Structure formats: structure tokens, C-alpha cells
């Protein structure tokens, strides 16, 4: 998981946003699996995890300049 920031001073913030995005994607996959299996309890659990991780991702993105945000959105992680 390496995405080079456009400006080196933003590298830490880019890494933080990517980490939260990856956590969200994993939770979303688990939520979709639980939904496909009809397991409502697990679906609710991963739905809450998705909400929390996506909020953290949005917060991390808010601290980045627009050009860094666009680079993350164009990446393979999005």
C-alpha cells in the first residue's frame, strides 16, 4: 500500500487517509458477505464499522489539499 503524495509534507496525511479507506473497504466486503448470507447480526455489526471507518476516512481527507484528495480518489484503493 504505497501511494506517493504529490508534496512530501502531505505523505503522513495521505497514508492516514489510505489506511482508513482500506479499513472501510474490508468492512464493506464483510458487510456484503453477511448480507449475502442473510446474517442480520453480522450485517449490523459491519454496518457500524463501515460508518465509523468512513467517517474517519472523510476526516482524514478533509485535512488534505484538493490535489491530494483527487490523487487518492483516482488510486486503485478507491
Helices vs strands, H then E, count in the chain: 3, 0
Q: Please, what's the b/e burial string for 28-40 (b: 16 or more CB within 10 A of its CB; e: otherwise)?
A: bebbeebeeeeee
CA dihedral angle for residue 57, residue 63, residue 67, residue 73, rounded to 10 degrees = 0
For the entire predicted model, the pTM comes to: 0.91
Task: Give the tens place of pLDDT for each residue, 16-68.
Answer: 999 999 999 999 999 999 999 999 999 999 999 999 999 999 999 999 999 99
Sort residue 64 into left (φ over 0), alpha (ψ -120 to 50) or beta.
beta
Is residue 1's pLDDT more than 80?
A: no
Amino acid at each position: 500500500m504505497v501511494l506517493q503524495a504529490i508534496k512530501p509534507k502531505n505523505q503522513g496525511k495521505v497514508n492516514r487517509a489510505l489506511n482508513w479507506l482500506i479499513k472501510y473497504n474490508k468492512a464493506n466486503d464483510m458487510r456484503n458477505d453477511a448480507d449475502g448470507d442473510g446474517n442480520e447480526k453480522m450485517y449490523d455489526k459491519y454496518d457500524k464499522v463501515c460508518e465509523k471507518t468512513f467517517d474517519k476516512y472523510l476526516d482524514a481527507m478533509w485535512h488534505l489539499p484538493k490535489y491530494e484528495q483527487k490523487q487518492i480518489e483516482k488510486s486503485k484503493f478507491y
